[in-house]
Amino acid sequence: MPRSLKTKTKFIFFTGGVVSSLGKGIAASSLGRLLKARGLSVTIMKLDPYINVDPGTMNPYQHGEVYVTDDGAETDLDLGHYERFLDISMGKLNNATTGQIYEKVIARERRGDYLGGTVQVIPHITDAIKEGICTLAKSDGDWDVVIVEIGGTVGDIESQPFLEAIRQMGLELGQRNVAYVHLTLVPYIPTSGEMKTKPTQHSVKELREIGIQPDVLICRTEHNLDKKLKHKIGMFCSVPDNAVIEAIDAESIYEVPLNLEREGLSKILIKQLGLKCSKPDLDDWKQTLEQWQNLTNEVEIAICGKYTGLHDSYKSIIESFVHSGIVNDTRVKLRWVNSEKVTENKADKLLEGVSGVLIPGGFGDRGFEGKIAAVQYVRENNIPFFGICLGLHCAVVEFGRNIIGLKNANSFEFAPRTKYPVIVLLDEQKKITKKGGTMRLGAMPCHIQPGSKAYKIYGQELINERHRHRYEFNDMYKKQFEKAGMRFGGLSPDHKLVEMAEIPDHPWFVSCQFHPELKSRFTKPHPLFRDFVKAALAYKSK
């Protein structure tokens, strides 16, 4: 390993086998939380084998939510889990894709960095992968531990360079500095009443063919793994019995760290890596989980959006409701309402009985009119309303049309010829033609206006929230909207951009241009979600 990449950091590489969707992201996040609870500084990196430079240009149905970091990277949704579990903010360095790695290497080749040489997967691509991992390790001083999750399943063609790179790191840094954790499945076959270890054996065999011997196996299972089974898995896979860790199906993802701790996961890794640390302090985590297990109230909130068929598209919103429900002693039941089905006549049927409606972010005009109908319904019926990004655009368009009387007012995004473009393209966006990574992205300061509902909720004048959009409220209409009863509770520091819009004459009608769901954590719910759930509860009890 080149000297420039030397670091004191210990690395834990997380791979997955048998099938996808076993919850590698949750397992990696849980391990991160456990190590952090022992006083170590921990961060996590996701390596994605696909060729897109980032998921920013992918359809949510392909990829799920695009998670945006403070520094404006559009990343994999697993970064959301990392942040929620570890309660730290991540950035560009925490996610890399095959596309990004190749882009870097090809740019170097064009510059002439490899003059005379043939550029190859090994060593050039693998070196660039290692460089990315070590750059993260050295950011913010040296992290004690960097966990690296490799996307996909062992055996995929696409992930081979990543596996080769982490194999090399093990060789170069040694067993005291590098550990491999492999997540597999131990399926239960109901017809024979047996749990099967063969898929795990095969998956580990595949990993060993690449040259990686796992130190720890985490086995996803529906039923407890007894000693005998653990021994069998351990023996076939050359892993000590106590390093065969059971990951039993849990009711909540937030139980997973505690389950894995009980199985001794962090202890084994600490010992192998010689990490000096304290006993785990998981009190606040346990307490929050206990609260979740004993919630006494329930409210139903509708999410009215376009991608309701794939809940992963709204991952952070779903989790934000879990967090904010806990502080309100309330289980938030979500009703998924496909905005394409909503019309002025059907809104009451589709939204009947809910105690709040949230309109999330989105792109494209499909379902937009349905969202407008939903806003009109909740505004007129005093049902709590929360609009996020495109949700703010909907709130503004509906208000323009139905309160001010701007006939057919619309967003320039969907109707560039509209007579009343109440939502327009951001100035800085006007010359942009490239699609990837060019939106207004990342955390930006916002001034909360004293006296507003937003101020009551945040309790402070300066906030910092994450953005991902190209369109914004049209400043030209500000006075007219204010006169008609809309209040702009949050503005950019130069007061040019509307960041929050509310209707004071409504029990709870709040919308924001940013994405608060990206900053909610298990033990620290976001104030806007917290207050929205509180309002929904109040509405229900009426």
The one segment of 216-224, 238-246, 281-289, 466-474 that binds ligand GLN by CB under 6 A = 466-474
User: What is the DSSP annotation of 330-355?
Assistant: EEEEEEEEEGGG--TTTHHHHHTT-S
- Minimum CB separation from ligand GLN for residue 513, in Å? 8
Task: Out of 219, 237, 304, 389, pick the active-site residue.
Answer: 389
Rounded to whole angstroms, how far apart are CA atoms 386 and 354? Answer: 13
Smallest distance, ligand GLN to C-beta of residue 442, A: 13
Which is nearer to ligand GLN, 318 or 327 (by Cβ)?
318
C-beta nearest to ligand GLN: residue = 361
Q: Closest CB to ligand GLN among 413 and 531?
A: 413
Q: Of the candidates 453, 469, 487, 530, which one interacts with ligand GLN according to CB under 6 A?
A: 469
What is the x/- site pattern for ligand GLN, positions 328-357, by CB under 6 A?
A: ------------------------------
Q: Note if the bond before 199 is cis, omega within 30 degrees.
A: no
Q: For ligand GLN, what does the binding mask look like between residues 369 and 408, x meaning CB under 6 A? A: --------------------xx------------------
Decide: is 167 part of the binding site for ligand GLN (CB under 6 A).
Answer: no
Residue window 116-155: x/- pattern of binding to ligand GLN, with contact defined by CB under 6 A: ----------------------------------------
- Closest to ligand GLN by CB, 289 vs 359, is 359
How many residues touch ligand GLN under the rule CB under 6 A: the total is 10
Q: Which of 413, 499, 502, 517 binds ligand GLN (CB under 6 A)?
A: 413
User: Are the beta carbons of 247 and 220 closer than 8 angstroms?
Assistant: yes
Asked if residue 363 binds ligand GLN (CB under 6 A), the reply is: yes
CA 126 – CA 134 distance, rounded (Å): 12
Contact with ligand GLN (CB under 6 A) among 11, 254, 292, 471: 471
Element (H, E) at 101: helix 98-111
Give, to the nearest 10 degrees, the angle between helix 78-86 and helix 315-327: 20
Q: Which residue has the tokens 């009387």?
A: 405
Please identify, using beta-carbon distances, which residue of 236 and 363 lies nearer to ligand GLN: 363
User: To the nearest whole angstrom, how small is the minimum distance from the Cβ of residue 317 to ligand GLN?
Assistant: 12
| Angstrom distance (rounded) from CA 102 to CA 94 | 17
H or E, element range at 204: helix 198-210
Residue 470 binds ligand GLN (CB under 6 A): yes
Of the candidate spans 5-13, 238-246, 463-471, 483-491, the one that interacts with ligand GLN by CB under 6 A turns out to be: 463-471
Q: Confirm whether 124 is a catalytic residue.
A: no
Q: Classify residue 210 by burial, with Cβ atoms within 10 Å: 0-12, 13-18, 19+.
A: middle
Q: Which of 323, 467, 515, 526 is catalytic?
A: 515
Hey, what are 241's tokens? 């019995």
Residues 6 or more apart in contact with residue 369 via CB below 8 angstroms = 343
Which amino acid would we find at residue 308? T
User: Is there a catalytic annotation at residue 446?
Assistant: no
Pairing mode, strands 178-185 and 10-16: parallel
Reported for 373-376, long-range contacts at CB under 8 A and 24+ positions apart, including other chains, are 373/342, 373/343, 373/344, 373/346, 373/347, 374/302, 374/304, 374/337, 374/339, 374/342, 374/347, 374/350, 376/344, 376/347, 376/402
Nearest CB to ligand GLN, comparing residues 250 and 425: 425
Give me the residues paired with residue 465 across strands: 444
| 468 near ligand GLN, judged by CB under 6 A | yes
Answer yes or no: 389 catalytic. yes
Q: Does position 114 bind ligand GLN by CB under 6 A? A: no
Q: Check if the beta carbon of residue 126 is closer than 8 Å to that of residue 165.
A: yes
Q: Which residues bind ligand GLN (CB under 6 A)?
A: 361-363, 389-390, 413, 468-471
Q: Which are the catalytic amino acids? A: 389, 515, 517
